[in-house]
Amino acid sequence: MAEEMRDALGAVYYVTLGCAKNEVDTDRMRSLLRSAGYEEAFDPGDADIALVNTCSFLASATEESIEATLALAEESADGVRSLPIVMCGCVPSRYGDDLPPELPEVAAFVKTDEEDAIVSVVDGVLGVERATPPFVPDVKRTVEGSVAYVKISDGCDRFCSFCAIPYIRGRYRSRAWEDIRSEVVDLVGEGVREIVLIGQDTGIWGEDFAEDVAGPRTLAQLLVAVAEAVRPERVWVRVLYLQPEGMTDELIAAIRDTPEVVPYIDIPVQHCSARVLKAMNRTGSEEELDALFARLRREIPGMILRTTYLVGFPGETFEEHERMLAFMDRNGFDYTSVFAFSPEDGTRAAKMDGQLDDDEKLERTQAAQDLAEALGFAATAAHVGERAEVIVDGIEETDEGVELIGHAWFQAPDSDGAVHLDATEATVGDIVEVEFTDSFCYELVGHVVG
């Protein structure tokens, strides 16, 4: 296999850490490298070079990224050939010139805004010379599977006091509609059956466009335009990472009235206390958030709600923590991500007074996680007896034989559990009607009925 791969310019082994936005970035780099004559290796032993796309959202993510890189280097050192490693993404963007002397195992570093030059970087590391520039501007992505994430923006202008993303990915930039449309149409043509629109702050998409830019100019208009672009294929459209103030009348109507758009809303509130939110450099209050979620449930019947609670922010009192738990319980979130506050380098919150000790944060985080699971498990179990469409995502070998795995419209891919199907005749990408017969944790068991 390795010899066959080396008939090309070389074979690249990919490692992606972090969020779905990194998956998109890796996929684009893979597509660029493939178009430039490189093959993909699925084992480091078959590779000529490794590309590690890193995450640095939290200190723990940075540590994981560096550990994965060093583990790959150590594994290579034990083998026959030394494997050059290119570190990409958020860690190089965040720590820049500090990295080369600390990580001599890495052959090259590529920041997030330099990734379109990945072919030149890999060429340089491997000593490949070309007569013409390698960059292919209209390269098509190489997604394999039923779901594809599509970035509609990058960067962030919020500067929440706990978050390093604006320093890593820069200021907010909406992606042009024609670029989004072209990518969506290509992906659907390749068999993708769910398009997930993502960005750091999707609700403000288009606000930074010049006045003379044609086409959709708001997220609501974008959702409708994407739905129109995928017709007549059966495709779900999902949007993630909305902020509370982004839930406009227009957006609510677009989610409710556009059949292709699944009524799944992900609003990471982080907290409900107005005092804590202000310290986070965010807006809102418990009363305003209660009113928003009540309105969403009223105007979009049967919708699914996901949120995020950042536990143990500096100065968070135990009473404020308890009020946040009551807020979660009262609003009955289907899914809640729970994170303990981490004092990130370069952020204002890292230097704030009132830092909680690790034991206190751990205790509060566990309480929040217990409640999140109780609510989420109950919401999942409530689907037993219902029927819904499920996208088939893959096939797994079990002790009892082959099992199909999929997800329903109320389950965001890679986040919310899966549906285990009793059928074997369907294929990846099929949309089948399923009756849910059992549940365990966030997972469902289903019988294919159509």
Residue 246 pLDDT > 70? yes
User: Is 441 known as a binding-site position?
Assistant: no
pLDDT at 426: 80
Residues in contact with 389: Cβ distance below 8 Å, sequence separation at least 6, in sequence order: 408, 409, 431, 432, 433, 434
pLDDT at 80: 44
- The neighbour count for residue 175, using CB atoms within 10 Å, is 18
Integer Cα distance of 147 and 439 in angstroms: 23
Integer Cα distance of 410 and 389 in angstroms: 10
pLDDT in tens, 391-412: 999 988 777 777 899 999 999 9
pLDDT in tens, 275-333: 999 999 999 999 999 999 999 999 999 999 999 999 999 999 999 999 999 999 999 99
Phi-psi group of 79: left, alpha or beta (phi > 0 → left; psi -120 to 50 → alpha; rest → beta): beta
Confidence of residue 1 (pLDDT cuts 50, 70, 90): very low
pLDDT at 325: 98
In contact, 308 and 336? CB cutoff 8 Å? yes
Residues in contact with 117: Cβ distance below 8 Å, sequence separation at least 6, in sequence order: 110, 135
Superfamily (CATH H level) for 387-448: Nucleic acid-binding proteins (2.40.50.140)
User: Is 90 known as a binding-site position?
Assistant: yes
User: Which has the minimum average pLDDT: 135-139, 206-210, 360-364, 398-402?
Assistant: 135-139
User: Is 160 known as a binding-site position?
Assistant: yes
pLDDT in tens, 258-279: 999 999 999 999 999 999 999 9
Domain ranges of the chain: 2-126, 147-381, 387-448
pLDDT in tens, 61-96: 899 999 999 988 887 665 545 799 999 999 999 998
371-378: average pLDDT: 98
> Considering the entire predicted model, what is its pTM?
0.87
Strands 153-154 and 173-174: antiparallel
pLDDT at 92: 95
Residue 141 pLDDT > 80? no
Half-sphere exposure of 257 (CA within 13 A, CB side): 10
33-53: average pLDDT: 92
User: Is 88 known as a binding-site position?
Assistant: no
Confidence of residue 3 (pLDDT cuts 50, 70, 90): very low
Integer Cα distance of 91 and 99 in angstroms: 9
Half-sphere exposure of 299 (CA within 13 A, CB side): 18
CATH of domain 2-126: 3.40.50.12160
What is the DSSP annotation of 264-312?
EEE---B---HHHHHHTT----HHHHHHHHHHHHHHSTT-EEEEEEEET
User: Which has the minimum average pLDDT: 108-117, 118-127, 417-426?
Assistant: 417-426
Architecture of domain 147-381: Alpha-Beta Horseshoe (3.80)
